[in-house]
Amino acid sequence: MTTGTALFLLVTGLTNGAIYALLGLGLVLIYNVTRVINIAQGEFVMLGALTAVGLTTGEATGGITLAILAGAAWALLALLRRRRWSLLWLPVVGGALLWWGVDAIGPFHLPPVLGVLVATVAVAFVGAALYRLTIQPAAGAGEVVFLVITTGLYLGLQGLGLLFWGPGSFSFPSVHGGQIAAGGVRVSYQSLFVLVATFAVLALLWLFFERTLFGKALRAAAMNRLGARLVGISPERAGLVAFAISAGISALAGVLIAPVTYATYDMGLGLGLKGFVGAVIGGLSGYPGAVLGGLAIGVLEAFAAYTTSAYGEAIVYALIIPILLLRVVATRRGAAT
Amino acid sequence: MSAASSRSADALLRVEGLEVAYGGVRALVGVSLAVRAGEVVTVIGANGAGKTSLVHAVTGVVPKRGGTVTFDRLDVTRMPPEDLVGRGLTLVPERRELFGALSVHDNLRLGAFLRANHTARVRRDLARVYDIFPRLAERRRQRAGTLSGGEQQMLALGRAMMSGPRLLLLDEPSLGLAPLIVQEILRVIAALRDEGVTVLLIEQNARAALKLADYGYLLEAGDVVTEAPADRLERDERVRAAYLGAGPVTT
Amino acid sequence: MRARTVVVAVALAALLVALPWLLPPFYANLLCFIAIYGGVATGLILLTGYAGLVSLGQGAFYGIGAYGAVVLAGAYGVDPWLSLLLGTALAAAAGYLVGLPILRLSGHYLALATLAWGIVATILFTQLASITGGANGFTNVPVLRVFGIDFVDPARFYYLTLVFAVLAVAALASLIRSRAGRAVRAMRSSEAAAASVGMEVGRIKLQVFVLAAALAGLGGALFAYFIAFISPSTFDLGASIRLLTMAMIGGAHPLGGVVGAAVVTLLDDVLQNVIPNGSGQAGLVQVIAYGAILVGLMLASPRGLEPVLGRLWPMRFRTAPARGGRGPGGRGPGVPASGGRGPGVPASGAPASGAPASGTAPARALLEVRGLGRNFGGLQAVDGLGFDLRAGEILGLIGPNGAGKTTAFNVISGLFPPSEGRVLLGGDDVTGKQAQHMARRGLTRTFQNTALFDMSVLENVMAGCHVHTRGGVWAGVLGLGRADEARAEREARRALERVGLTELDVRAPSLPVGKQRLLEVARSLAMRPLAVLLDEPAAGLRYAEKRELATLLRALRDEGLAVLLVEHDMDLVMNVADRIVVMNYGQMLAEGAPEQVRQDPDVIAAYLGLDAA
């Protein structure tokens, strides 16, 4: 392996790893606040990528439809449960009218930046709605029940992805075509952008959790559910926000990676699992750990794929087992002393 | 009986026929009590008598099998704890339930989570808490999990004060603390009463609680055995019996 | 009753055999699938429904069995019937090797590990193309034949699959009602309580995992011969999730696998017919439907169809009718049944090792605690605790809230090891040994929240006999060990009589709390213990129930049992204990006779509180 190849693999690995890091962050956020391990995390990536594609190319705009449907279900639930018209109906009905009205006039292309923004918001909304519809009603059930629920969500969302966008692969315009040469290797602008954007997101998240009261309240809800309730933080609302932020981050990750690896309806599971491996390396509780773990997995995967091709992927998945075992041993030892 | 009913007539907090059960175990079998505004009321009893179940049920932390809770004439029987805080009823739980990885300052600030709009008042209350607990002021940037037991109890109390409560529920604040710290905490509670905060104090340490309180209830096996003004209860032989068992062995 | 069961069984058998003739020809195909999936799902129900271990990777074992069988037969000329066996064995071996590490995980970590394993297996199936034919699949599948009859036509192959399904259901039904089945169900209710009656939880989990893998392997092998073509995508994550869906729909019941398989297979068929576009769209709708089913099931009915199936074919342990002539039943506690043997003396009459013969004063204490300490990250919960517990005495351990009694109790009973100090049982050092080990040496405990198993009263106590009976998972499947079971049942009845419980068939968690405590004591007695540690037995008891408990404890003590009691309830402790140890701030504060301790000024101060100067 030449230095050039090694550097190239490193850059590829870090680029993919940045995505895994974002996914890992989303997973850790949801796990900390709600104790749910979200098997469907990768599906938010897929939805974000494909919705953005749809909005900018004017074809296959299923993501928005999904958001409207989910919102309608949520509002309906509120109506049935509490017998009152929730404010949700406004964006749902308004969004539906706007959406289908515009669609009737003719396909339109949003500029990419706007497309990304709308897609992220829509997927974040779907995340919150899914929490309200499928996770919150099962509150108090064992962790295994939640696992099966999120497995069901994975299946359902992947199926809807196939339904809305078909089996093909889609690309999304890069931030800037072309590459720069650095240290003897060509790095695409998109890869650089991915890395920069990831760290920007990390920085924003850090600011949110460390410097705003709301962010600290979310951390508090994750640390101590009872304590949070006793200062007025509702665990349901915390879960809602956690799912929304997590889905939004994942959607953004999808948009970032789509220009590099193309978006398909089934891209979710692999990404989600690798994000999970990274998160577990970091202990499933700490955010820096999830980021470093994700980056590490990305790099490992790149090198493994180069040296052993298909087995590389098997190695990465197989790593889940020893990592989980080590984690359990480490936690036990920590608790015992 | 008339004394008891006159108490409940103008009570800030009224609990009637409260029942709590965990599976088959009946922790409370029908407890009634009343706390009037401005009072310090204490509920004493041996361990396992149901004191914590009482507080957890009143605040909605555990479900009630029966009974009602009325706060300031509003039926709050079905209200969850996060909503009760907004209404002015705050609990300082037995295990303190602090946010260990956050700083003292953040813990206190979160105590005022629901008052985020009234920043001037919140800042004033924060200054007051630091004033009352200088040790917390010294350690304001320190992680709450690294504080000593006494400091954690102070922090828990301070955090509750930050919610601007009208009624403060304290579950065994003296638990595991050295006598001097216990005295300090009790002094703070007395000061709070002087400022108009009503206090319901759950305590295993009967003597200290009865010295501080205006009125007392003795809880045993999930039921109120007797109630009286604190100074009378202090002299009641049943208190000692409740803690250390009745007299010579009778089968 | 017996006659009716026989008639039903015969009618059912006749129906099953005649099915291919009764239904239109196409259905034979479906029946084969239902039977195969049903058998595999039955294994998954044992694993997930009964043992509580969620697996998202059964597809892997399914595939190993399939590839193992047809590759050996097709590429290496092994006899097809033998290859079925070998394929199953390969799957079982894989189950052992994979289970060994991952069963140390639990809950969602375990599920994720099985998910990873499933994906790795699929990749391996694809990559080892030289053996498996890779992504293009394996087609060289020979035909199963016996005495010149070819098993190719679905209507004929159905009988093979029917045998498989029936065997699977029968195996599970037999296992669930055996000693090992009881252990599996106990483990699901409470691992801590299962350990406290001496069950080797780790070993049970592995055996169950291997059995489920074996069933999956055999099903896979049959599937391969049926379809005559297999490819890696047949055994991927989708297949694992499908199997899990079947298991969840069916619920925790031996018939659940077959019923769940029938529901899912028929649903697939309906979707194929209703969606006109052919396989593409139907497959898509299937996926969404599975997702919706899984979510809906978990929210609405997490137990699946088990309540319905349970009424159809109750899995209750049949209690043998009470035999007369052993003395009148329903005796009150404290009056030993005539000829009843005391604790520490096994049925054979020879005293258990280390136990003094009842009646003689022991020279050395049964349980010795020396300098016990336990530290939790800086907090010294127990500090330098030491005392003796002798046979034939009741020792009370008391102290104010936070004194460290529960921690000390948990250390002594083997829930976690101490940081310092030693624990000796019958002279042997058992410091740091786990609860299962303690149980086998004669030390058992009860739990503050009565960790009863979710089964009948009688079965709970029979679980107590686990430590001196034998019979693992394989014995359970084959229905062996009946003699041991009969003996266990007799002993359980005796123990229940001792404590005065008469409703043997009632589900344990539905008993009032006073009876639950007595049941826990009976379960402990069934272990023939030397010492019993009771964790706050008086919690939640009424006055009369406490009296009943006190009388029972005194009777047990008089027969030579050693009892350690952690309690808050002063009435009970003062009445029943011979000696009392008082703890405060993790250390021993006082020790002595009840009256002495009650009047000790230090003890009074510790409880009622210091005077706030």
CB–CB contact C611 B207 (8 Å) = yes
- Asked if the C-beta of C432 comes within 8 angstroms of chain A's C-beta atoms, the answer is no
Fold of C33-312: ABC transporter involved in vitamin B12 uptake, BtuC (1.10.3470)
Does position C583 have pLDDT exceeding 60, yes or no? yes
Q: What is the mean pLDDT of chain C?
A: 85
CB–CB contact B91 A226 (8 Å) = no
Domain that holds residue B26: 1-88+209-244
Mutate to test the interface with A, among B56, B58, B61, B82 (most CBs of A within 10 A): B82
pLDDT value of residue C344: 40
Domain C367-608 has CATH 3.40.228.10: no
Cα separation, C120 vs A319, whole angstroms: 10
B36 assigned to some structural domain: yes
Q: Which two tokens stand for residue C517?
A: 């405590």
The region of weakest confidence among A238-247, B24-33, C416-425 is B24-33
B43 assigned to some structural domain: yes
pLDDT value of residue C275: 66
The ipTM of this complex is 0.89
Backbone phi, then psi, for B75, in 5-degree steps?
-75, 110
N-term to C-term CA, chain B = 33
B42 assigned to some structural domain: yes
Average pLDDT over residues C472-490: 87
Does position B1 have pLDDT exceeding 90, yes or no? no
Mutate to test the interface with C, among A321, A328, A333 (most CBs of C within 10 A): A321
pLDDT value of residue C339: 34
Q: Which two tokens stand for residue C115?
A: 């998910």
Residues in contact with C200: Cβ distance below 8 Å, sequence separation at least 6, in sequence order:
C436
Provide, as residue numbers in chain B, all residues whose Cβ is less than 8 Å from the Cβ of C394. none
Q: How would DSSP label each residue in B107-142? A: HHHHHTGGGTT-HHHHHHHHHHHHHH-HHHHHTTTS
Sign of CA dihedral B162, B167, B169, B174: positive
Task: Give the tens place of pLDDT for each residue, A195-244.
Answer: 898 889 889 988 999 899 999 999 999 889 899 999 999 999 999 999 99
* CATH 3.40.50.300-classified regions of chain C: 367-608
CB–CB contact C102 A321 (8 Å) = yes
Task: Give the tens place of pLDDT for each residue, C553-575.
Answer: 999 999 999 999 998 888 889 88
pLDDT value of residue B169: 96
Burial class (CB in 10 A: 0-12, 13-18, 19+), A88: buried
- Asked if the C-beta of C97 comes within 8 angstroms of chain A's C-beta atoms, the answer is no
Domain boundaries, chain A: 3-268
Does position C342 have pLDDT exceeding 50, yes or no? no
B48 assigned to some structural domain: yes
- Asked if the C-beta of A234 comes within 8 angstroms of chain B's C-beta atoms, the answer is yes
Backbone phi, then psi, for C153, in 5-degree steps?
-60, 135
What proportions of chain A, in percent to the nearest 5, are helix, strand and coil?
80, 5, 20
Nearest by CB: A318 against C116, C291, C416: C116
Does position C496 have pLDDT exceeding 50, yes or no? yes
Residue A123's nearest CA partner among A238, A43, A235 is A43
**Nearest-neighbour CA in chain B from C541: distance (Å):** 8
Strands (E), C93-235: 145-146, 149-150
User: Could you tell me the pLDDT band of residue A175, with boundaries at 50, 70 and 90?
Assistant: confident
Report pTM. 0.84
Burial class (CB in 10 A: 0-12, 13-18, 19+), C601: exposed
Chains touching chain B through at least 3 C-beta pairs below 8 angstroms are A, C
Task: Give the tens place of pLDDT for each residue, C202-223.
Answer: 999 999 999 999 999 999 999 9
**Nearest-neighbour CA in chain A from B139: distance (Å):** 18
Q: How many domains does chain B have?
A: 1
Task: Give the tens place of pLDDT for each residue, C505-514.
Answer: 888 888 887 8
Q: Helix or strand or coil: residue C589?
A: strand
